[in-house]
Amino acid sequence: MKVLNLCLSLTANSTVLSTSLTFEQQYQKIYKKLIAFLYQNPTAKFSFSFTGLQLEWFEKAHPEFLQILHELVARKQIEILGGGYYNPVFPLLSPVDRAGQIELLTVELRRITGKRPRGISVLSSVWDRSLIPCFQNCGMEWVQLDSSIIPEKSRHFLPQILGEQGKTIKVLPVYRNLQNVIKKNISPEQYLKELVDKIEKSTKNDEYNYYAQERVISVNFEFDSAEILLSGNWIENLYKSINQEFAEKIRVCLPTEYIHRAEEFIPSFTGIGIRDDVAKWALKPYEISGEKSELPVSINNFLITYPRCRALYNRELYISLLVSNCHGDKARKMAARKSLWKAQTGDAVLCSPKGVFPDKKMRQAAYKNLTEAEKYIREAVPFKESVTSFDYNADGHNEYLCSMEKYTACISARGGQITELNVIHNLENYADNLSRIEKFDKVNDNYERGLFVEHVFSKEEFSDYKKGLPSGCGVFSKALFREAEFNGTKKEIKLKGEGTYSNLDIPISLRKRYLINSNGFMVQYILKNEGPIAFSGNFVVESNFAQTDFSNADKNSYKLDLISDGNGISYETVDEPVVKKDISFVQITDTSSNISFVYEPNEEAGISCQPLLFKRPDLNSETPQIAENTFTVSLFWEFDLAGGMEIEKTINFTIITPKKRRTKKI
């Protein structure tokens, strides 16, 4: 190796929830210092990647920064990589959304810098070969991928070339080796010497040594390391060392500059992958997996491990189909697509390398943008209420999607429950709830916490259930309900679930009938003892309401109003378990939006309600901390069922949204 080409880069770091304060801190601590150094040192070269949101903020708060970027690009001193405008996980997007997000950022970069990008950066190197045709069609010549997803036998410190369906793209592997510099306080001179020695040793006898006189390494600065190294003048001293001690051995260059000059490209096969420090979280919920997977870890592994992220992806996919199939008002369709793109930010479905996971605030922000996109589509074409049946979440079973005036809901065959309830008025998804995990919460729920989840408990089990203690799954919460009858015209769904009760394995069945209307549902239950042995217990209908006030992770933002035995009872907030009997009316009000949910059973019932807290690992603590909570409301009835007998219960569920205030004309 005669010369080592060194490419230095800084990746983007922002989300749709990034505040002006966050952007300002990043600017003052990193961008301002780095760009000032580059401006004063014309021989120093560097590459950046930005999200569209960062560029929007720079234009408002620091337009001078963009002017300097334009000048440095013209001086061929810096290169700005392309990407998705809202930093999405590209493999999860449809081809039209992939191209749309890339082109949106490309147009913005060309307007600001006067030059379109030729290379592209992808969030956490989440890769799939199907991206190759799209990237090439968008004018991208090469992609920056983490070295950890490149097959080891192909790591020769040379660019790769990948092909798919007759299209090809170059790959520049990027290395993250600066953390040791900080931990061990390694000087720039020592770092460069070790880097050259390592590459010379590993390439000395490889098959490309005769052909390739030059090698390349791309080193990425992430925000944490960049801030520390900039504050200690380490980066400035790095360039000085390159220009002095290593002037004949190391050449700093821009990635596209090297790609255009390179003569050797290694044909490689990289089908799927995620950078290794993110992939380690993909196999066990909220834990680093010590096991090495025989197959490369993909984004699908992550979605399977984290059901709430998968649920959000299902919603994104559905809205993307709605937008693509809309043939109405073009302006509203474009507005819908932009709202969809905002929701597709990767931070809502993927964790950070340090294990910071998408929280409820991030997920709800995505759900809001998705429901806003749906509102635009409803305005673009004449809206008609509908109930349809198809495999919404790709689990092999049909779900029922209810598109009504006030809400959109998804009813799952698993548990026969409502797994998604998007209220059009405030755009929130009230069924977005975690489930308890024994390692963190000391309890395993073993079922998804949606709305209208049914349990059959013995007296002892129900006593534990009311206290939030382990009580089993209650027979039907995990049962797979089969379709007995579906009528989309009448908006009627009839389901039937079967199971066994108690240690005696008494066969029981539950027929469940949904009658959907513009304001809510009517849900009818028929619980039957299918065996000859009589038994007694408690029939429980559980609903879990997601919190929409994110000011405090353990705050319950719901108000509770009851009518018990003809008397009204109100709770401004519920912080402890509440159990009442003889209930004929229940109203749960989300105080952050003033939206109410009303339950009216056909027979007086008991009620058990309480906030449930979910704990998860926290970077700032050795023990799990409260991450989210949900408000659990359960109606229940005691029963005695002889062999072959059945009971019937009905609940009317209504969504009440606040009326628009009329303003007086002056």
Kindly report, residue by residue over 57-88, the tens digit of the pLDDT.
999 999 999 999 999 999 999 999 999 999 99
- pLDDT at res. 14: 62
415 closest CA partner among 443, 465, 455: 455
- pLDDT at res. 661: 59
Q: Are 569 and 526 in contact (CB under 8 A)?
A: no
3-state secondary structure of 223: helix
- pLDDT at res. 356: 87
Q: Are 313 and 277 in contact (CB under 8 A)?
A: no
Strand 214-221 vs strand 167-175: parallel, antiparallel, or unpaired? parallel
Separation of alpha carbons 592 and 54, rounded Å: 29
Q: Are 143 and 135 in contact (CB under 8 A)?
A: yes
Tokens of 366: 């995505």
* pTM across the whole model: 0.94
Separation of alpha carbons 267 and 162, rounded Å: 6
Q: What is the dihedral of CA 352, 356, 358, 362, to 10 degrees?
A: -100
Separation of alpha carbons 644 and 226, rounded Å: 71
- pLDDT at res. 198: 93
Spell out, as residue ranges, where the chain has pLDDT lower than 70. 13-17, 291, 660-666
Q: Are 649 and 641 in contact (CB under 8 A)?
A: no
541 closest CA partner among 458, 633, 471, 613: 633
Percent of the chain, pLDDT > 90? 82
Separation of alpha carbons 230 and 395, rounded Å: 49
Tokens of 651: 């609940």
Distance linking the first and last C-alpha atoms of the chain: 81
Separation of alpha carbons 469 and 482, rounded Å: 30
Tokens of 503: 């240690």
- pLDDT at res. 662: 54
Separation of alpha carbons 250 and 215, rounded Å: 10
Q: Which domains are seen in the chain, by residue range?
A: 3-271 (3.20.110.20), 300-382 (no CATH), 411-656 (2.70.98.10)
Helix (H) or strand (E) holding 612: strand 605-616
Q: Are 616 and 627 in contact (CB under 8 A)?
A: yes
List C-alpha distances in Å: 573 to 141, 558, 559, 606: 57, 6, 5, 19
Tokens of 584: 């004929």
- pLDDT at res. 180: 85
**How many CA atoms lie within 13 Å of 27's alpha carbon, on the beta-carbon side?**
19
- pLDDT at res. 310: 97
List C-alpha distances in Å: 333 to 102, 108, 323, 542: 18, 21, 6, 38
Separation of alpha carbons 427 and 432, rounded Å: 12
3-state secondary structure of 157: coil
State pLDDT tens for residues 262-308. 988 999 888 899 999 999 999 999 999 876 777 889 999 999 999 99
The stretches of 510-654 forming alpha helices (DSSP H) are none
Counts for the chain of helices (H) and strands (E), in that order:
18, 29
- pLDDT at res. 204: 86
What residues does 546 pair with on adjacent strands?
Answer: 630
